[in-house]
Every structure is written in C-alpha cells, then in structure tokens.
Homo-oligomer: A and B are copies of this chain.
C-alpha cells in the first residue's frame, strides 16, 4: 500500500490528518504538483485525472478523492470513529463534512484557482490548460467563504466540534479549508469567536502538523 501525496497541497493534508488521528502510518510518494508532476507520464498512469491524493492498495486498486480514501481507512480501522457511528450519526457527520467541503473548501478553491499565478490558464483542478481564471468567480468565492464562516460560527455556539460532541472528518475538512484560505489572505474575523476557539483547539491537536 502507498499514498501518493504532496505535502503542500490542501486535499492530501486532509488524508494525512485523518491517518494521524487514527494512528495509521502509510508509505508516501510525493507528487510535486507545483512542478506539474501530476501531468508527468508516470503519474498519469497512476491517476489520469492528475490529482493527489491517490491511495494504491496491494491488489492494485487505486482510489482517488480524499474522502473516499478516508472511507477506506474508516472501514479497516474503525477506531476512533471519524465518520460517525450508526445511521443518524453517520449521516450528520457526512452532512457537515459535505458542507465544510462544498461551502468551505470549494469557496477557498475558487479564490485560489482564479487568482494565484500558478493556476493561470488552468483554473480547474486536473486540467492541463485552456481554462482561464475568472476574477469574478474569485470574488464570488470570497463571499461564499464569508457565508461559510457565519454558518460555522452559528453551529459552534452549540457544539464543541462541527458535527457535534466528537472530533470528526468534518473538523478536518473545515480546518484545512480555513488554513488554506490564509494563502489568499482570508482569515477568521473577530466576529466569529466560536470559530476562533474551535480553530485554536484543532491547531493544538498533534494531527494538525501531519
């Protein structure tokens, strides 16, 4: 088994945090996406989509998509549960993880991909070129990220963690999104004290440096 990873990319980090929380060690292979290594011949054979992370199992099965990789480890290594346990809890965790991803991480991604010079002409992940950046979409992403922080603030008034009483994959996704947002100068404002409290707690977990 091996995990194709890149230490500077936001999505592989989600998987690394997940593994650290479970105490699982997996051999890693770095794919330097800042040097376009995801488009190299060797990695195109691993994942033609050109994204990391990818988990390669011993039987040759290759799994892309961060949450799908986490799902694999959740089943083979259920403790501690990070994706919920039982029907209601699993659904609540999945709901919040999706919100953290679709409203948080996706908004940050819209800003990054449509502003950073390294993504010029390839504003959609996995595409080699021909997709120009849209300044208006970056602006929309900034507004979406602000709304996401408001949702989180409202949620974290009532619960210590995003999905409820326990740390889960939803915290990992939201934390990674907020941390990635720093790259485009988006920070949690003082008007979100509960998000700041939660963010500081997550940052103190050993997995935060994974």
* A131-B143, A134-B137 known; A90 vs B75 contact (CB < 8 Å): yes
- Judging by beta carbons under 8 Å apart, are A88 and B61 in contact? yes
- Judging by beta carbons under 8 Å apart, are B57 and A69 in contact? no
- Judging by beta carbons under 8 Å apart, are B75 and A94 in contact? no
* A124-B140, A124-B144, A134-B136 known; A68 vs B88 contact (CB < 8 Å): no
* A68-B98, A76-B87, A87-B76 known; A92 vs B140 contact (CB < 8 Å): no
Q: Is A206 close to B, CB under 8 A?
A: no
For A144, the chain B residues whose CB sits under 8 A away are: 124
State the CA gap A123–B57 with chains docked (Å): 40
Q: Is A194 close to B, CB under 8 A?
A: no
- Judging by beta carbons under 8 Å apart, are A68 and B95 in contact? yes
A contact patch SS:
helix
Q: Is A64 close to B, CB under 8 A?
A: yes
For A69, the chain B residues whose CB sits under 8 A away are: 91
CB distance from A139 to the nearest CB of B (A): 10
Partner of A91, one of B68, B86, B90, B134: B68
Partner of A131, one of B55, B134, B140: B140
Q: Which residue of B lies closest to A83 (CB)?
A: B71
- Judging by beta carbons under 8 Å apart, are B76 and A94 in contact? no
Q: Is A63 close to B, CB under 8 A?
A: yes
CB distance from A173 to the nearest CB of B (A): 13
* Chain A residues at the B interface, C-beta cutoff of 8 Å: 49, 55, 57, 59, 61, 63-65, 67-69, 71-73, 75-76, 86-88, 90-92, 94-95, 98-99, 123-124, 127, 131-132, 134, 136-137, 140, 143-144, 147, 151
